[in-house]
Homo-oligomer: A and B are copies of this chain.
Amino acid sequence: MQTAIHLLSALAEPTRLGAIRLLWDGREHCLCELMRELDATQSRMSRHMAALKHAGLVVDRRDAQWVRYRRNPHLSDNLGIIVDAVLASLPDAATRKAA
């Protein structure tokens, strides 16, 4: 129960949900890229990513100056299904790039 609550709280914030959407392409993204895409300030983005990491949704890796975030490959199936369902519910406009 506690686990599900933590996951839901982590997802229930626009910037964090946006980050999950971007990271769910399976690739790595550095903080600076997420900042740009989601139009977030540096400290905001950093804190939100720390929250997602703490919730076990993502993992990070130092690469020179950058910190690369990616989907946690060991995320349990139960929880992965929730994330997928949430992302599937988002309007396409959220998925398409501003372009």
List residues of chain A with CB under 8 Å of any chain B CB. Answer: 1, 3-5, 7-9, 11-14, 17, 78-79, 81-82, 84-86, 88-91, 94
Contact = CB atoms under 8 A, between A and B. Distances in A.
A94 B78 CA distance: 15
B91 A1 contact: yes
Q: How many copies does the complex hold?
A: 2
A94 B84 CA distance: 23
A13 B17 contact: no
Nearest to A18: B1
Given A81-B89, A89-B81, A8 B11 contact: yes
Given A9-B12, A12-B9, A12-B12, A4 B82 contact: no
